[in-house]
Every structure is written in C-alpha cells, then in structure tokens.
Amino acid sequence: MQILITGGAGFVGSNLARMALSQGHQVKVIDDLSTGYRDNLDGLDVDFVEGSINDRAQMDRAMAGVDSVVHLAALGSVPRSIENPIATHEANVDGTLSVLESARAHGVGHVLFSSSSSVYGLNPAMPKQEREWVRPMSPYAVSKLAAEQYVLAYGTAYGIDTLAFRFFNVYGPGQRAGHVYAAVIPVFIDALMKGEPLPINGDGSNSRDFTFVGTVCRVLLDAIERRVSNAEPVNLAFGTNTTLLELIDEIAEVSHQVPEKLHREPRAGDVAHSQANNDSLRSLFPDVEPVSLTEGLTATYEWFQQGRDAQE
C-alpha cells in the first residue's frame, strides 16, 4: 500500500516509515523539518516532500495517489505551546484541517491521527477512559483535542474512515535529547550518560503510561492494513502506571548505573498522573502485544550508546 506519513522525519514517523517499508509498503513523507531531522530517514527508500502541511500545494503533492494517511505532523510539547500558543495552533489545528481537506480533495479514504492523553488534563479519573470528560491544561492539549474532533467529524461529514488515537508517553530509539522541549526518557538517559544528575520536575511521584514506539507503530500498521476506523477516540497505551522515581529505578537497572537526582519545580501544564483504559484498543487490535518497559528501555539505552560511540 502507498502510505503518507505527515511528520515522517520526526521520532514516531521515522520509526513508522522504517517498519512500513520492512513490511513491503511504499512510503511518502511530508515534513517541514521544524522539529524533525532529514537524517532520521537516512537509508530509507521514501518519497520525501520537504514542506509544510499548512501549504496546500505541497500537501496536495504529498497526498496524490496514497491509500492511507498517518497524520503525525505537529508541534509537540506542552511548554512550547505555553510559550507560543499561536504557532502550536497553526501547526496542529490549521495544519490538520489542511491535511483533511487535501485527503478529501484526493478521495483518500483512510486517515489516522495522533491525538494525546493531555486532552484529559484536569480530569483526575484514573485510568483514563475515552468517554470521560476532557479539560485540557495547555494550548497543546487544546490543539490536539480540536484536531482529533476535526478528524472524527470528517469521518461523519465526508465518509472518510478515520481513527484518532490518543498517544500517551511514547518513547524509544530516535527520540532525541539535547533540546529544551525533550521528553523525559531521553532527558534522563542523556543526563546519565553525561554523568549529570537526572532533572525531575516535582517530587517524582508524577506517573505516566509509557508506550514503546515499536508497539505504537505496530498498532498504526495494523490499522492501515485492516483499514480500521472508529467513531470515537482510542487510547493508544496499555494501562501501565510508572512514577518518575520508578522510571529512574528501571533506567538504573538497564544501564547498571546509579543515577543522581535533581528535583526542580513542577512544570506548568503538566498533568500529575496518566494511565490509559485500553478496552477500546484491545477490542480493535486484539493481536498487538506491548513491548515491556524493561525491554523498551534497553533498546532505547542501546540507541543512545550507539550514538555516543559514533561520535567518539
């Protein structure tokens, strides 16, 4: 099948491109390289359009002839959105509308989307169920909620088969540290490898449902191959609940090192706890088995080590 991955030069997108090609699919990517890297796709036979999803001409070039779209392009990060809500809105909401309009114009009938667990925001219920009320705490979370609702509305209004996944904390090889909006696992591993203390926002009791990128890509590919759609958003996580302090213990085990910790102020917009109810995911994707945190952290740590070895 011909798959278009928007944001395919990013962390999840490049992992998905690699997996899709290995399964015999053809892959097109559109990415403006605002937060992604062209070299994430090195050695992969993808048809690459360097451009913004907000640019309809570029978007249409990328959309022509595809069977399914996996729409991942977005400006991620809660703190980035707090600093610049308009940029987040333009990329994540206007950009999504541009992708949907392009899909509609080209008669592309299957669109998958990456929403976020951040939409649950102030709702304290655990685990998070898709029909629970949502109350975003940041412009990023609002943008993801608006975009997922657009995606689902295009399903009902225009008969496109759509599936809006709510990703939780995705991690794995290819997720970089070294920038101000980096995610927690790369930040921790990077600090450990530099012999620096691991920076913890708050007391470390915040918890997350970490999902390995390989597991996320398996679900996405399964959805493409069986053309799965759903009228409601679907949590893409497996119901685990790991505090930051527990995560550090796991990283210590995997790396055979004893990390130092540095506590900092909690960050605005961060939800305290996050854990998915995955009944819906399980019923739509009964065959997908998640990679465990230990296995996933081992692969991630090895990827960081290879990067360091390559620099030496």
Ligand X SMILES: NC(=O)c1ccc[n+]([C@@H]2O[C@H](COP(=O)([O-])OP(=O)(O)OC[C@H]3O[C@@H](n4cnc5c(N)ncnc54)[C@H](O)[C@@H]3O)[C@@H](O)[C@H]2O)c1
- Residue 301 touches ligand X, criterion: CB under 6 A: no
> In angstroms, rounded to a whole number, what is the distance separating the alpha carbons of residues 237 and 170?
9
CB of 81 to ligand X, least distance (A): 10
- Residue 41 touches ligand X, criterion: CB under 6 A: no
Q: Name the pairing type of β-strands 110-116 and 2-6.
A: unpaired
Cβ neighbour number for residue 208 with a 10 Å cutoff: 24
Q: Which is nearer to ligand X, 271 or 284 (CB)?
A: 271
Q: Which is nearer to ligand X, 138 or 230 (CB)?
A: 138
> In angstroms, rounded to a whole number, what is the distance separating the alpha carbons of residues 192 and 167?
26
Which residues from 175-194 bind ligand X, rule CB under 6 A?
183
Residue count (the chain): 312
Q: Which is nearer to ligand X, 110 or 208 (CB)?
A: 208
CB-CB contact of 51 with 95 (8 Å): no
- Residue 13 touches ligand X, criterion: CB under 6 A: yes
Long-range contacts of 190-193 (CB under 8 A, 24+ apart): 190/304, 191/259, 192/251, 192/255, 192/257, 192/259, 193/304, 193/305, 193/308
For residue 216, give the nearest of 49, 81, 2, 18 by alpha carbon.
Answer: 18
Number of residues near ligand X (by CB under 6 A):
29
Which residues from 243-282 bind ligand X, rule CB under 6 A?
none
Range list of β-strands (E), the chain = 2-6, 26-31, 47-50, 68-71, 110-116, 161-167, 169-171, 198-201, 207-208, 210-212, 234-236, 242-243, 261-264
CB of 260 to ligand X, least distance (A): 25
CB of 54 to ligand X, least distance (A): 5
> In angstroms, rounded to a whole number, what is the distance separating the alpha carbons of residues 202 and 264?
6
Q: Which is nearer to ligand X, 164 or 200 (CB)?
A: 164
User: Helix H segments across 159-226?
Assistant: 184-193, 213-225
Which residues from 54-113 bind ligand X, rule CB under 6 A?
54, 72-76, 91, 95
Q: Which of 3, 5, 9, 93 binds ligand X (CB under 6 A)?
A: 9
Q: Which is nearer to ligand X, 11 or 301 (CB)?
A: 11
Ramachandran angles phi, psi of 216, nearest 5°:
-60, -45
Q: Which of 4, 5, 53, 93 binds ligand X (CB under 6 A)?
A: 53
- Residue 209 touches ligand X, criterion: CB under 6 A: no
- Residue 172 touches ligand X, criterion: CB under 6 A: no
Q: Which of 81, 162, 169, 235 binds ligand X (CB under 6 A)?
A: 169
CB of 277 to ligand X, least distance (A): 16
Q: Which is nearer to ligand X, 210 or 285 (CB)?
A: 210
Per CB under 6 A, residues contacting ligand X are 7, 9-13, 30-36, 52-54, 72-76, 91, 95, 114, 116, 167, 169-170, 183
